[in-house]
Structure 1
Amino acid sequence: MNHRSLRITAALAAVALGLTACGGSGSADSASSSAAGSAGDSSAAVEEYTVGINQLTTHPALDATREGFKEAFADAGLKVEFDEQNAQGDQATVTSIASTFASASDVDLVAAIATPAAQGTASAVKDKPVVFMAVTDPKAAELVKADDAPGGNVTGVSDRNPVKEQLQLLKDVKPDAKTVGIVYNSGEVNSKVQVDQAKAAGKDLGLEVKEATITNSSEVQQGVQALGDVDGIYVPTDNAVVSALETVLSYGKDKKAPVISADTDSVEKGALGTFGIDYKEHGKQAGEMAVKILRDGAKPESTPVGFADPASLELVLNKEAATSFGVELPQELLGRADEVIGG
């Protein structure tokens, strides 16, 4: 069927028709049996939905977001067919995927993971709901008119990071730190937002931000070298930089400049630490929003953008990474950690 398939159990009706066609023998018993069967059958409609997913690229945090999103539908008991597409970091592919979803009559809602994917999807999909995830600043990305009143067919959940608290980790392990370097993709709005937040936080923390811009992951090596001598490095939720994290980590080890990340997966891979969100829970929060839109009739234009509950933020540290950067994690910091890797 076109927009949404609605399956209604019709077995009893078929049986009744069959018995009628067979003639009158046993008709009273058949009628009695049919009535009993009808009483025991709820004949409930099973509603099915098709949800398109436009994911910018493959990355553990974004993958966890996608899985959390899908899990919310399972928890709600909804029957959903997911059409999962991955642009592998190519914006032209993002646009192509979004256009396909826009013209597909059987797609009921489109989910977009990461800011560039959300922007491409919002530009193409105008007549069905769009729910975004892993977007730092939806308003700056021009996805919504306002966080509390999106005003269109697009809403979702922001992964806005507590940048100041994350940069504080550098001061905790290196109190005399004066400079922090940031490499970021100039084409990602979310990255620019985080750099601006870092600059503002740096003033309060006594940290000068040195920045280097890139346009793709192949330029990360050039970017970190352009930073020169810095006391630490901050890696925002920038898809191009995170995909080349090993390059950043290697530079940080050589310079004895601790690498602080904006996501927990990077800490598992060798960054010193972060104070950030659980991306699976982030995706689940977006999934619950999508459920309300599909099942309960909530309107995207009046559904406020969601943000992570501060109580759900996690302090994750990596002791082995600290050693490789030539610093020691203070006991007080370790005592507050939700997870310590290599400890």
Structure 2
Amino acid sequence: MKTATRAALLGLTLACSLAAPAMAADVRVSVTAIVDHPALDAARKGVTDELADAGYVNGKNLKLEYQSAQGNTATAAQIARKFAGDKPNVIVAVSTPSAQTALAATREIPIVFSAVTDPVAAKLVKSWEATGGNVTGVSDLPSLDKHLAALRKALPAAKRIGVVYSPGAANSVAAIAELKKLATPLGMTVVEAAASRTVDVASAAQSLIGKVDVFYEPTDNNVTSAFESLAKVADQGKVPLISADPSVATRGAAIGMGTNYYDLGRQTGKLVVRILKGETPGKIASEVSTTLEMHVNKSAAQRQGATFSEDFLKTATKVID
């Protein structure tokens, strides 16, 4: 082989070896959620789909890692510390506990939260404005005034609202406080039952039978994970069950109204892309989900002793027979 040819080949080999790292995953996004359930799973898929549409493809120019805490806050803290040590470009925290543990683990790595009801009450950000720091994201803050309006239209005789919730969940505590404030002027009362663990959901719901006219579930992750057990109590007690998550209409809610969690994830993904392209989270104001849907399950409603008017059914985004 001639010297010139050999030198050319050597140069080509060296060029390829230098270029090789650019072909590997050069952007890292670490995603965590407090638990796996359909709403949070949909939000996570929305994030990854938005990243892919923006050109960040896992295994090509993106290394995407996901870990679930399986409902355990101690595990969530361990995951957060691991991610902080890995130093990804962005940490995506789906749910309030995951976002809180991520912030406790790092004040430097950008954190984008998703499916957090009240990021201010959860002390993730100082206000809804861009206030500096390393956190921004998208809230699933329910439009409780619209929920109450729909509840009154669907069940005009209902006056006592039963809420099963996790007392350690900042999202649920904030939602209940707001629900009470809105319900009182309407002549309605809110009756609470705490369920610290998923196994407590059924017994907490059972304790409300005879005391409430309707169940309302404010996207509490603990309760959503055990939603079928809540629906079973609602069926047996003939108490209509309404949730702030439209997707759970397929899991036994008579009415599910609120955020489309896949769309919430897409909205979250847009913020992640902005940060990957150079923006800082402290200069991006926290957002609220822009979608609102209502799914009605007629069979579940019948089991729970409710019949909805045709006028009300016409206002639904989706009706399940």
Alignment of 1:54-93 (within 5 A): 54-78=32-56, 79-93=61-75
1:300 aligns with 2:281: yes
1:269 aligns with 2:251: yes
Q: Residue deviations 1:302-334, cap 9 Å, x none?
A: 10001122xx31121111111111221111111
Measure the CA separation in 2 of the matches of 1:208 and 1:341: 29
2:320 corresponds in structure 1 to 341
Measure the CA separation in 1 of the matches of 2:8 and 2:185: 87
1:316 corresponds in structure 2 to 295
- Using structure 2 for the length normalisation, give the TM-score: 0.89
Measure the CA separation in 1 of the matches of 2:42 and 2:227: 18
Measure the CA separation in 2 of the matches of 1:225 and 1:126: 43
8 Å Cα contact 1:150/1:305 also seen in 2? no
Q: Percent identity of the aligned residues?
A: 38
1:205 corresponds in structure 2 to 186
> Residues 228, 323 of structure 1: CA spacing in aligned structure 2 closer, same or farther, 3 A cutoff?
closer
Deviation for aligned residue 1:20: 7.0
SS at 1:340 equivalent: strand
2:125 corresponds in structure 1 to 144
2:106 corresponds in structure 1 to 125
- Using structure 1 for the length normalisation, give the TM-score: 0.84
1:226 corresponds in structure 2 to 207
Deviation for aligned residue 1:181: 0.4
2:15 corresponds in structure 1 to none
Q: Residue deviations 1:107-157, cap 9 Å, x none?
A: 111110100111001110222100000100000000001111242101110
Measure the CA separation in 1 of the matches of 2:318 and 2:300: 14
> Residues 291, 324 of structure 1: CA spacing in aligned structure 2 closer, same or farther, 3 A cutoff?
same
Deviation for aligned residue 1:273: 0.9
SS at 1:133 equivalent: strand
After TM superposition, the structure 1 stretch with the greater mean CA deviation from structure 2, 92-101 or 212-221, is 212-221
Give the partner amino acid of 2:316: A
After TM superposition, the structure 1 stretch with the greater mean CA deviation from structure 2, 158-167 or 62-71, is 158-167
> Residues 185, 22 of structure 1: CA spacing in aligned structure 2 closer, same or farther, 3 A cutoff?
closer
1:291 aligns with 2:273: yes
Give the partner amino acid of 2:85: S
Give the partner amino acid of 1:193: A
> Residues 256, 292 of structure 1: CA spacing in aligned structure 2 closer, same or farther, 3 A cutoff?
same
SS at 2:285 equivalent: coil
Measure the CA separation in 1 of the matches of 2:275 and 2:4: 41
Measure the CA separation in 2 of the matches of 1:260 and 1:134: 19
Measure the CA separation in 1 of the matches of 2:91 and 2:267: 15
2:7 corresponds in structure 1 to 21
Measure the CA separation in 2 of the matches of 1:245 and 1:77: 36
1:12 corresponds in structure 2 to none
Deviation for aligned residue 1:179: 0.4
Alignment of 1:88-237 (within 5 A): 88-105=70-87, 107-229=88-210, 230-237=212-219
1:250 aligns with 2:245: no
Measure the CA separation in 1 of the matches of 2:4 and 2:119: 58
SS at 2:26 equivalent: strand
CA RMSD of aligned residues (A): 2.0
SS at 2:299 equivalent: helix
8 Å Cα contact 1:49/1:80 also seen in 2? yes
8 Å Cα contact 1:102/1:126 also seen in 2? no
**Max radius of gyration: which structure?**
1
Measure the CA separation in 1 of the matches of 2:4 and 2:93: 49
Deviation for aligned residue 1:92: 0.8
Measure the CA separation in 2 of the matches of 1:218 and 1:193: 23
Measure the CA separation in 1 of the matches of 2:316 and 2:171: 27
SS at 1:137 equivalent: coil
> Residues 113, 18 of structure 1: CA spacing in aligned structure 2 closer, same or farther, 3 A cutoff?
farther
| Structure 1 stretches lacking a partner, 5+ long | 1-16, 24-33, 35-44
SS at 2:253 equivalent: coil
8 Å Cα contact 1:166/1:260 also seen in 2? no
Measure the CA separation in 2 of the matches of 1:132 and 1:187: 18
8 Å Cα contact 1:317/1:334 also seen in 2? yes
Measure the CA separation in 2 of the matches of 1:316 and 1:128: 38
> Residues 340, 21 of structure 1: CA spacing in aligned structure 2 closer, same or farther, 3 A cutoff?
same
SS at 1:227 equivalent: coil
